Structure 1
Amino acid sequence: MDWCRPAGLLCSLSLLTAILGLDGVFAATRAEIEHHLEMGRHLLAAGQLAEALSHYHAAVEADSKNYLTFYKRAAVFLAMGKSKSALPDLTRAIQLKPDFLAARLQRGNILLKNGNMEEARQDFEEVLQRSPEHLEAQKHLMKAMELENLQEDAHALYHRGDYGATVSVLERVIEISPWDPESRELRAECYIRMGDPQKAIQDLTPTTRLRNDNRAAFLKLSKLHYSLGEHHESLNHVRECLKLDQDDKACLSHYKQVKKLSKQLDSAEELIQDDRYQDAINKYEAVMKTDPHVPHYTNQARERICFCLLKLKLVMEAIDVCSEAHQMDPRNTKILRDRAEAFILNHDYEKAVDDYREALEFDSHSNDLKEGLERAQKLLKISRKRDYYQILGVNRAANKQQIIKAYRKLAQQWHPDNFQSETEKKEAEKKFIDIVSAKEVLTDPEMRQMFDAGDDPLDPESQQQGGGNNGQAWPFSFNPFEGGSFHFKFQ
């Protein structure tokens, strides 16, 4: 070169130094690559996958011509469950070394699990062309051919409307290709048509991860959860759809519907927690208007309105609404429990016993239902002897002022002094004792609580059977006529 001639020796020395320097850089790079590969192997063996992957990244960046480096990084991706990330590395390894059978076999296996049977078959056939006795490649090739036949059968059965048979075929398809979203989506559609949304949800859920942009699956999942009354889950899935595309019209429309109804339901429950039962009733009536076409929400609204009416002591209204709710949802134990309690307030103890028994048929392990049945049976037994509420003609929700008012009216009517003949006086005396007894029990908080629980505090037999007062005779028994004549004065 002309520029070296004036000082040829010096120029030659400089050029040699430069060449030696570059060779040193290359040597250092190879050492770094070996270091990263060694660290990657060590960390992979220790199960530290993320750390191992970072070292393999560095090795690939330093040397993009080493097919083994790509293959090893693919192995880490597979260990992390990232088969999609492993595929490009396996493909690059095959490009760098076309006769690398391990990489072809691994890639074919991933493609087969993803449902790409044509590409998978090509890899297995290439392995067998180079190594005809390769048993694993033969096995996988047979699976690929089986998969092709199964997929054809599944689609033919689906188009004929034989969804049960389609599901049976797809079970084997998914066993061979567990990462294939299309097969799971088809089976989910069969379950929907067979009326089994829960199984459809189980199939659709993984497809949201198996496809990069599976808005259709998120929307379908949202609608399925919505139809089952799981409005919070429905809202979560439709939001995932909008994260992928905030302008997706179908997802946006469904989101507005779910959000409105979900807000109403949450608000209604908050009102119940705050004992604002009438406001909760109004909110649940709005729920039924928001979406009258989804049975779960109208049934839930009726169930909760029934509960609120019971809490408000609106007995007949509660019985009517609970009965309507029971007709729509006959296996709902909460409705049967609340109607039983309304029947108790209305002194219909036999009906209360029937409802509690029916509820226990659906939930035989519920302690609340068992205790409710026991109480209703006690009240029924007592009512056949003496029912203090019926004696005074008041309902079980009556307050003390109402009880005293009813007592005064009946006591004045049935006082023995109002009657002339001995027979009438004896009959009046008997009724009068019952009236006074009812007043004594129902105006005493402790005795009234016992009576409401199914024990008569003035019945010695009830107390001896283990009622109140630790099984001893109850101290409140009395007769207003004992010890001489009884003088009754009205204020």
Structure 2
Amino acid sequence: MESTETFKDKGNTEFKKGNFQAAIAHYTEGLLEEKSEQLYGNRAACYMKLSKYEEAVADCRSAIAIKPDYIKVIKRLIQGLIALGELKDAQQCIDEAAQLDKKFSKELENEVKVIKDLAISDSALAKAIDNKNWSSALYFTTEMIRHCPGSKELQLNQLEYMMEAGQTENAMRVSQSMFDSMNSNPKYLYLRGMVLANDGRMDQAKKFFVQALKNDPDYLTCQKALKKIKRTETLKTEASDLFKDNKYEEAIEGFNACLDLFPNNKTYNSSIYLNIAICHTKLKQNEKALEVLNKAIECKDDYAKAYVKRGEVQLLLENFEEAVRDFSSADRISPGEFGVKSKLKNAQVRLKQSKKKDLYKTLGISRDATPTEIKKAYKKSALRWHPDKNSGSEAEKAKAEKMFKDINEAYVILSDENKKARYDSGVDVEDIEGGGGGGFSGGAGMDPTQIFNMFFGGGMGGMGDSGFGGMGGGMGGGQQFFKRGSPGGSQFEFRFG
């Protein structure tokens, strides 16, 4: 039979090699033969190396019970208690050691300093929490964990402050790494659920909350979190139903209420912001929609759908360069989805056109205007800018002539289905009209006034049903007549009411 000393020597040999588990096995065998303070102390040293601080503390206490003045093990016990974050117990051990022998105070100077430093950090942490300065709280907690790596309380607090600071990815990674060692801890289960909720995974979050409440039915904070998730789901459903019923303003209120429940839920809230933005577009509130979409993308910078919707809103606001950027971002994140390639191409065409003539803007119509709307817009604009009606200063006359020319140019192209299609696809106006002089050929060199004459039928008969009431048939009564000669020698006569 091997002696206790033999087991100790074998253990020491493995310890020096760094084979701590093997060393523990030898020390344990020796302890079965004899309860030795040296074997307990040496096994505690192995546990410290393996970060098994609770086991180390237990062995240190067993060794000190046999030899109360075993200063090397007393020091190890204090280090183990500090590692576990049990600072009051560590300080008590220091005080008791000093009572045994004053020289022990010198031996424990480093441990005393560590405890003082931790007290300073703890005070700063309390202030950061009071001020809801979660980044600072996270910093001080992380500093404390360097000295207290075995403190479950500090680890859970660190996870909580990560979450409060909006560091969802880090919180997700850390909470996952803690699962095996803490999956029965109610606070851990609650925090893991909150991390999942903040990542938009509400169903998984609910499972963790339910498990936490099974382990601790009186966990009030977790009860509230579970109720908030259920409330969020109800509010979202109600808001979605309001949207389907075209009650957009009420839907916006409902979606905003969802945002208030989980302010750190960036992934989930990004989708809520998108819904709110869509409601604003339905209400023609495009500026507000843009503001909300900015928040959606701020929450989730790889949210392709939000980039697509923001690109569409940018087009409506005629922010063409921004639209191209947004569609490009969406295409980079989710290539080929949401019809983004065609949207990007259209935005690029619109950007190109914006640097040239905008025929739709010239007539004051939207790009989806019907032929009837195009015709009506031409009538209104042509009557307003006809040179015979603008007889003020030379500058005013010049402006009217240019506007009249541009209006007719726009009508010639947009009223022709084939020409309109070419223009919408990005073909230059000059190329569509054959590159006539002065930027406008008017169709085979036709003068703008000739187009006007053809459109209104010369003597303006029949204008009563054109949408400009009071300007048909009986337009006498002392109205002033304006005449304008055309290059062909013909004369057009029209009187304005």
TM-score range, shorter chain: 0.5 to 0.7
Alignment partner for residue 75 of structure 2, among 91, 98, 105? 105
| Alpha-carbon spacing, 1:376–1:255, altered in 2? closer, same or farther (3 Å) | same
Alignment partner for residue 316 of structure 1, among 267, 274, 284? 284
Q: TM-score, normalised by structure 2?
A: 0.52
Structure 2 CA distance, aligned partners of 1:337 and 1:145? 55
Alignment partner for residue 421 of structure 2, among 437, 443, 456? 443
Q: TM-score, normalised by structure 1?
A: 0.53
Structure 2 CA distance, aligned partners of 1:53 and 1:414? 96
| Alpha-carbon spacing, 1:170–1:150, altered in 2? closer, same or farther (3 Å) | farther
User: Aligned to 1:65, what secondary structure does the other structure show?
Assistant: coil
Aligned to 2:29: 59
Higher helix share: 1
Give the 5 Å matches for 1:193-342: 197=165, 215-216=186-187, 219=190, 238=209, 241-242=212-213, 244-245=215-216, 248=219, 250-258=221-229, 261=232, 287-289=255-257, 292=260, 300=270, 303-308=273-278, 314=282, 316-322=284-290, 325=292, 341-342=312-313
| Alpha-carbon spacing, 1:268–1:448, altered in 2? closer, same or farther (3 Å) | farther
8 A Cα contact 1:90 1:104, kept in partner: yes
Of 73-82 and 127-136, the range deviating more from structure 2: 127-136
Structure 1 CA distance, aligned partners of 2:6 and 2:440? 101
Alignment partner for residue 409 of structure 2, among 415, 424, 433? 433
Q: 1:308, CA displacement in angstroms?
A: 3.7
Of 210-219 and 94-103, the range deviating more from structure 2: 210-219
| Alpha-carbon spacing, 1:354–1:302, altered in 2? closer, same or farther (3 Å) | farther
Aligned to 2:51: 81
Give the 5 Å matches for 1:111-126: 111-117=81-87, 119-121=89-91, 123-124=93-94
User: Over residues 189-247 of structure 1, what are the superposed CA-to-partner deviations in whole Å (9 max), with x where a residue is unaligned?
Assistant: 9x89xx97459998x98999999976357647866986x78665965864563363366
User: Where do 5+ consecutive residues of structure 1 fail to align?
Assistant: 1-26, 270-275, 360-365, 367-371, 451-455, 461-472
Aligned to 1:38: 10
Amino acid in structure 1 at the alignment position of 2:360? Y
Q: 1:92, CA displacement in angstroms?
A: 1.5
Structure 1 CA distance, aligned partners of 2:404 and 2:131? 78
Amino acid in structure 2 at the alignment position of 1:215? P
Structure 2 CA distance, aligned partners of 1:148 and 1:483? 89
Q: CA RMSD in A?
A: 6.8
Q: 1:122, CA displacement in angstroms?
A: 5.0
Structure 2 CA distance, aligned partners of 1:280 and 1:89? 68
Q: How many residues align?
A: 400
Structure 2 CA distance, aligned partners of 1:457 and 1:296? 49
Of 70-79 and 136-145, the range deviating more from structure 2: 136-145
User: Aligned to 1:316, what secondary structure does the other structure show?
Assistant: coil
Structure 1 CA distance, aligned partners of 2:111 and 2:157? 24
| Alpha-carbon spacing, 1:235–1:77, altered in 2? closer, same or farther (3 Å) | farther
| Alpha-carbon spacing, 1:403–1:196, altered in 2? closer, same or farther (3 Å) | same
Q: 1:316, CA displacement in angstroms?
A: 1.1
8 A Cα contact 1:143 1:176, kept in partner: no
8 A Cα contact 2:315 2:347, kept in partner: yes
Amino acid in structure 2 at the alignment position of 1:316? K
User: Aligned to 1:386, what secondary structure does the other structure show?
Assistant: coil
Alignment partner for residue 139 of structure 1, among 88, 100, 109? 109
| Alpha-carbon spacing, 1:64–1:406, altered in 2? closer, same or farther (3 Å) | farther
Q: 1:443, CA displacement in angstroms?
A: 2.0
User: Over residues 355-414 of structure 1, what are the superposed CA-to-partner deviations in whole Å (9 max), with x where a residue is unaligned?
Assistant: 88xx9xxxxxx9xxxxx99x9899589558521333565534x3xxx6555556678999
Q: 1:304, CA displacement in angstroms?
A: 0.6
| Alpha-carbon spacing, 1:251–1:91, altered in 2? closer, same or farther (3 Å) | same
Query: Do structure 1's residue 481 and structure 2's residue 443 form an aligned pair?
Result: yes
User: Aligned to 1:95, what secondary structure does the other structure show?
Assistant: helix
8 A Cα contact 1:225 1:231, kept in partner: yes
